[in-house]
């Protein structure tokens, strides 16, 4: 069991149940909890910005194609925002 207190609101505590090998240390578990939070935020952004949750498909192949294209559509602006925050210019590459 891992408890995490919010920095901005000390009264807010998040609880996580994690399973792993015995050699896992507390910093490893804290890192995993933080990574899960970032992944959940990424999926929420993809739902809002790229239509990740707007699918009406009947086959696995169609669902898979929709998810891949939605994640790609989300990755391009996210990469541009990341580069802009660093002050870098995106460069075009040739295959």
Q: Do the domain assignments include residue 25? A: yes
What is the pLDDT averaged over residues 58-67? 87
Q: Which domain holds residue 30?
A: 2-85
What is the pLDDT averaged over residues 14-28? 82
Q: Do the domain assignments include residue 90? A: no
Kindly indicate the confidence band of residue 78, based on its pLDDT and cuts at 50, 70 and 90.
confident
Q: Do the domain assignments include residue 93? A: no
Q: What is the pLDDT of residue 91?
A: 67
With a pLDDT cut of 70, the percent of the chain lying above it is 94
Which of 4, 22, 24, 23 has its CA nearest to residue 14? 4
Q: Do the domain assignments include residue 91? A: no
Q: What is the pLDDT of residue 56?
A: 80
Q: Name the average pLDDT for the chain.
A: 81
Q: What is the pLDDT of residue 7?
A: 81
Q: Which residue would you say has higher pLDDT here, 95 or 37?
A: 37
Domain count, the chain: 1
Q: Do the domain assignments include residue 20? A: yes
Which of 77, 95, 19 has its CA nearest to residue 2? 19
Whether 19 shows a pLDDT value over 60: the answer reads yes
């Amino acid at each position: 069991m891992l408890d995490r207190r919010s920095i901005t609101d000390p009264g807010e505590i998040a609880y996580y149940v994690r399973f792993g090998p015995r050699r896992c240390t507390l910093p490893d578990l804290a890192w995993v909890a933080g990574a899960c939070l970032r992944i959940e935020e990424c999926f929420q952004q993809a739902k809002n910005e790229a239509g990740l949750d707007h699918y009406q498909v009947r086959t696995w192949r169609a669902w898979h194609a929709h998810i891949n294209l939605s994640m790609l559509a989300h990755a391009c602006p996210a990469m541009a925002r990341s580069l802009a925050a660093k002050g870098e210019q995106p460069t075009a590459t040739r295959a």
